[in-house]
């Protein structure tokens, strides 16, 4: 994905995930309700041989109680959180997703936007996460 001067890592899991996103888009096209994509995404994940879960509590750092999680659609391979939306990615989403990465202690998020005319995705990294200390990142310039 080309995205300004952003850095992007493609490893086996993210490559499979992006393949799932493309597969669903080819099957459903644009303009479906987001709920339809959420129904088919687990099917694509299973076909790709990826493990996933759909809900996970966050442990509150103040008093160690579990709190209601934000709307995260999937957690894949206990490494990547996936958020499916029918909106355009905005800068405020960037900070919010990075906050979720820290709260869930995950290194990578995949934000997928299925729109009316096209779909797009954004990979976001918690660069402070131990798994990301030695990333082999590729830099793309538009």
pLDDT, position 69 = 58
pLDDT, position 59 = 62
Pairwise pLDDT comparison (97 vs 91), residue with the higher score = 97
pLDDT, position 33 = 84
The CA distances from residue 22 to 29, 107, 117, 119, 127, in Å, are 10, 22, 14, 9, 26
pLDDT, position 71 = 73
pLDDT, position 60 = 59
Q: What is the pLDDT averaged over residues 120-141?
A: 74
Pairwise pLDDT comparison (133 vs 123), residue with the higher score = 123
For the chain, how long is the longest CA-to-CA vector?
46
**Is 4 a residue whose pLDDT tops 60?**
no
DSSP codes, 56-78: -PEEPTTT--EEPPP---EEETT
Q: Which of 31, 11, 142, 3 has its CA nearest to residue 76?
A: 11
Q: What is the pLDDT averaged over residues 8-12?
A: 63
Residue 28 DSSP code = H
Rounded CA-CA distance 126/105 in Å is: 9
User: pTM for this structure?
Assistant: 0.78
**Is 126 a residue whose pLDDT tops 50?**
yes
pLDDT, position 31 = 78
């Amino acid at each position: 994905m080309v995205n300004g001067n952003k850095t992007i890592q493609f490893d086996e899991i993210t490559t499979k995930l992006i393949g799932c996103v493309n597969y669903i888009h080819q099957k459903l096209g644009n303009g479906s309700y987001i709920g339809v994509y959420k129904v088919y995404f687990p099917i694509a994940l299973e076909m790709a041989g990826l493990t996933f879960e759909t809900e996970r509590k966050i442990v509150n750092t103040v008093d160690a109680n579990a709190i209601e999680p934000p709307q995260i659609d999937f957690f894949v391979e206990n490494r990547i959180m996936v958020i499916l939306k029918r909106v355009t990615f905005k800068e405020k989403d960037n900070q919010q997703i990075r906050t979720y990465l820290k709260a869930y202690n995950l290194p990578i998020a995949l934000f997928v936007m299925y729109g009316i005319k096209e779909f797009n995705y954004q990979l976001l990294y918690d660069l402070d996460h131990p798994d990301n200390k030695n990333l082999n990142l590729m830099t793309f310039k538009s």
